[in-house]
Each structure stands twice: as C-alpha cells, then as structure tokens.
Amino acid sequence: MDDVELRPAGPDDAGAIADVYLASFQATYDFPLAHSDEQVRRWIRDLVLPTQAVWVAATSDGVVVGLMALTPDTLDQLYVAPGWTGHGIGSRLLALAKASRPSGLDLSTFQVNAGARRFYERHGFVEIARGDGSGNEEEQPDLRYAWR
C-alpha cells in the first residue's frame, strides 16, 4: 500500500510493536503465548529493539501495522496487524529482509500456521527442518525455512 511506509524502528516504537505482535499472535493461534503481555513488552523493549535490526510498517498517520526483526542470518519476527494482512505489507517487509541479507535467511514458524507457510514458500523459502515443539517456548511443532 502506498500510504504505508517502511522505516527503521526506534525505542519509541516499542509499545506499538508489542501491540502488533500480541494482536497478530492472538488472531493467528489457538494456543497461548508462553509469556504474559507485559513480559512480551519488556522483551521487545529491552532485547529485540536494542539487539536486532527492527523495521516497522506505519501508516501516514503513524500507526504501526507491521514489524520485522532481523538478526545477522535469521528473520526472527515478521508480523502484520489483523485487518492489514493481504495488502502487501508482509511482502514488502520480506523483500527488505532479503535485500538486507542477500546471502540468505532462515526463519521458523509453527506448523499450524498454514498462511505463513504458504507466504514464505511463495517467496522462495524452502523447508529445511521440522521440530516437535521441544525447541520453542510454546511447545508447538514448528518448521525451519531457508532462503538462499
């Protein structure tokens, strides 16, 4: 969408990023997060923002509607707010991730997230591993994808 800008996130975006993360997770999954909302907010503010390359998708009036967090070789987080999916925001964030990490990226998603699986596969990611849930805090079966 032309009225949605991608920009690097700053410390003042922590609350809005947490809002998108929590709303998207709750709208997507039938199982609960392993942490409370307040723990997620602290994690984003104190760990994700200071240590990862974080980008937001924001409307022209400043409302954050998407987020992406990258480590040197992993797409760690990619969430689009409910009601904003299907507008190309995730694709734009993913294109930015690929441009930022041209040598390749890995990512994980839960096996039950069929929409995310289709999205990543459509964008050239291939499944490289399956987990039984023992490797994530939600204890949900997951998939590892790679793009090279």
Q: pLDDT tens digit string along 31-48? A: 989 999 999 999 999 999
How confident is residue 1, by pLDDT bands cut at 50, 70 and 90? low
Q: 133-140: long-range contacts at Cβ-Cβ below 8 A with a sequence spacing of 24 or more?
A: 136/108, 136/110, 137/34, 137/35, 138/31, 138/32, 138/33, 138/34, 138/110, 139/34, 140/29, 140/31, 140/110, 140/111, 140/112
The residues near 47 (Cβ < 8 Å, ≥ 6 apart) are none
pTM of the model: 0.93
- DSSP-based three-state secondary structure for 137: coil
How confident is residue 88, by pLDDT bands cut at 50, 70 and 90? very high
Distance from C-alpha of 105 to C-alpha of 92, rounded to nearest angstrom:
16
How confident is residue 2, by pLDDT bands cut at 50, 70 and 90? low
The residues near 91 (Cβ < 8 Å, ≥ 6 apart) are 123
Segment 73-82 shows an average pLDDT of: 97
Element of type H or E holding 105 = strand 105-110
**pLDDT more than 70, % of the chain:** 99
